[in-house]
Amino acid sequence: MTHSAAAIIPAAGFGTRMHLDHPKQYHLLAGVPILVHTVRAFFNHGSINRIVVVVPADFIEQTNTLFTRHQLNSSNLTIIAGGRRRQDSVRAGLETLDNDIAIVLVHDGARPLVTREIIDRCYLAAIRHGACIAAVPVKDTIKRGDDTGRITATIDRTSLWQAQTPQAVRRELLEKAYRQNGDADVTDEASLLEKAAIPVTLVDGAETNIKITRPEDLLLAEKIMHQDLLPKMRIGHGYDAHRFTQDRKLVLGGITVPHSHGLAGHSDADVLTHALCDALLGALGLGDIGRHFPDSDPRFAGIYSITLLEHIVALAEEHGYNLANADITVVCQAPRLAPYIDQMRELLARTCKIAPGALNIKATTTEKMGFTGRNEGISCHAVVLLQSLQSSV
């Protein structure tokens, strides 16, 4: 059963230990603001239906501009002003949520390296157990000291865990905790739940899921991110061809192109979009378009191929990838496609959730050679580069 979930990202603090002249969440990490990395981890996650980013009141407009620049615009993402304390900011986020939200994940705005796997574990644990927290076992020896800086005891670390985020909880439990102890000073949501006697389950976090608190944390995060970037790109190639037929409209790249003939096929026979779909599936290692939308299935008869592309883009996101760029070549003797290419680019780029400049379409002829040169049909090649959602910058 699916439970609607929201991510609340408190990022209203200043981070004085970073010794910056601006809030640390806006500082650059690998050339991109820390907060952008954090929000991206949740932005394309299939289980997250709503994101609320809580920032300093003076930074709302700047944050809107920042998210627009990094293509994080969505009707499901809201930016609001935070409160004096972390728990005030989380409460403000909680109050903006629609009634259908059942699960709430709270994640530090300055914890940009959270992985999809950690988010999944927290989401599922909240459904099963009510409340949970990502954490890692303490591995170093822990000492207790006095005011003079002398050791007074060595603490048994066997049952000690280092808290991280996300901290995920069923909404009604978090609201109950706020009603009972919302005025108490706490450091995280788990503490608030504990005060309300609500059990909290420990979920495996990761040593790499660090919070940017001090300048040296930036250096460590850069190294971790660099290691993650290298292997997480995938290339795919797609090819498709359809013969001309009478009494059908010609659809290419989702756009109807005026011509005497259309293309034959089970769907709308959009050869350009089919080649792009096959390239995406090839990069994911998931077969081809015929495997996912067989021509023996009446559900796909005459279907608009942009709908198929939307499905494949969502499939890529489920596997942790989005499109970095695409290069497409349409081969036909006629009709002339130049007047329609910009419309195709706009539509395909919007469907793939990328900027139009990242998707190129070229049209060429074969100088009247072969089946395309004889005006028997149209063929198309597409090459794509996918990038990991965790590494896209």
**Quick check: helix, strand or coil at residue 387?**
strand
Q: Tell me if 263 sits within 8 A of 242, measured CB to CB.
A: yes
Q: Can you spell out the DSSP letters for 329-360?
A: EEE-SSS--GGGHHHHHHHHHHHHTS-GGGEE
Nearest C-alpha neighbor of 104 from the set 56, 43, 48 = 48
Q: In the prediction, which pLDDT does 228 show?
A: 56
Q: What pTM did the predictor assign?
A: 0.60
Q: Rounded distance, CA 58 to CA 82, Å? A: 10
Bridge partners (DSSP) of residue 92 are none
Q: What is the pLDDT of residues 324-358, one digit of tens each?
A: 999 999 999 999 999 999 999 999 999 999 999 99
Q: In the prediction, which pLDDT does 393 show?
A: 39
Average pLDDT of the segment spanning 247-255: 95
Q: In the prediction, which pLDDT does 60 show?
A: 95
Phi, psi of 187, rounded to the nearest 5 degrees: -95, -20
Average pLDDT of the segment spanning 25-39: 91
Average pLDDT of the segment spanning 128-144: 95
Q: Tell me if 275 sits within 8 A of 239, measured CB to CB.
A: yes
Query: Mean pLDDT across the chain, nearest whole number?
Result: 92
Q: In the prediction, which pLDDT does 21 show?
A: 80
Q: In the prediction, which pLDDT does 227 show?
A: 64
Q: In the prediction, which pLDDT does 392 show?
A: 44
CA distances from 236 to 72, 135, 317, 359 (A): 25, 37, 16, 14
Q: Rounded distance, CA 349 to CA 82, Å? A: 34
Q: Rounded distance, CA 72 to CA 36, Å? A: 8
pLDDT band, very low/low/confident/very high, at 19 (cuts 50, 70, 90): confident
Q: Rounded distance, CA 386 to CA 358, Å? A: 12
Domains recognised in the chain with CATH numbers: 5-229 (3.90.550.10), 233-388 (3.30.1330.50)
Kindly report the length of the chain. Answer: 393
pLDDT band, very low/low/confident/very high, at 142 (cuts 50, 70, 90): very high
The H or E element containing residue 80 is: strand 77-81
Q: What is the pLDDT of residues 197-235, one digit of tens each?
A: 999 999 999 999 999 999 899 889 888 877 655 447 899
Say which residue, 129 or 181, is predicted with more confidence: 129
Q: How would you classify residue 368: left for phi > 0, otherwise alpha for psi between -120 and 50, otherwise beta? A: left
Q: What is the pLDDT of residues 362-387, one digit of tens each?
A: 999 999 999 999 999 999 999 999 98
- Tally helices (H) and strands (E) across the chain: 12, 18
Dihedral (CA of 115, 116, 118, 123) sign? positive
Nearest C-alpha neighbor of 291 from the set 269, 312, 318 = 312
Q: What is the pLDDT of residues 268-324, one digit of tens each?
A: 999 999 999 999 999 999 999 999 999 899 999 999 999 999 999 999 988 888 999
Q: Rounded distance, CA 60 to CA 335, Å? A: 49
Q: In the prediction, which pLDDT does 151 show?
A: 95
Instruction: Report how far Cα 187 is from the mean position of its chain's Cα atoms.
Output: 28
Q: In the prediction, which pLDDT does 390 show?
A: 54
Bridge partners (DSSP) of residue 386 are 234, 323
Q: In the prediction, which pLDDT does 231 show?
A: 47
pLDDT band, very low/low/confident/very high, at 30 (cuts 50, 70, 90): confident
Q: Rounded distance, CA 241 to CA 247, Å? A: 18
Phi, psi of 277, rounded to the nearest 5 degrees: -60, -45
Q: Rounded distance, CA 190 to CA 199, Å? A: 9
User: What pairing do the DSSP bridges indicate for beta strands 262-263 and 151-155?
Assistant: unpaired
Per cent of the chain over pLDDT 90 is: 82
Q: In the prediction, which pLDDT does 15 show?
A: 73
Instruction: Report how far Cα 170 is from the mean position of its chain's Cα atoms.
Output: 22
Q: Can you spell out the DSSP letters for 159-193?
A: T-EEEEEEEEEEHHHHHHHHHHHTTS--SSHHHHH
Q: In the prediction, which pLDDT does 270 show?
A: 97
Q: Rounded distance, CA 335 to CA 179, Å? A: 67
Q: In the prediction, which pLDDT does 68 show?
A: 92
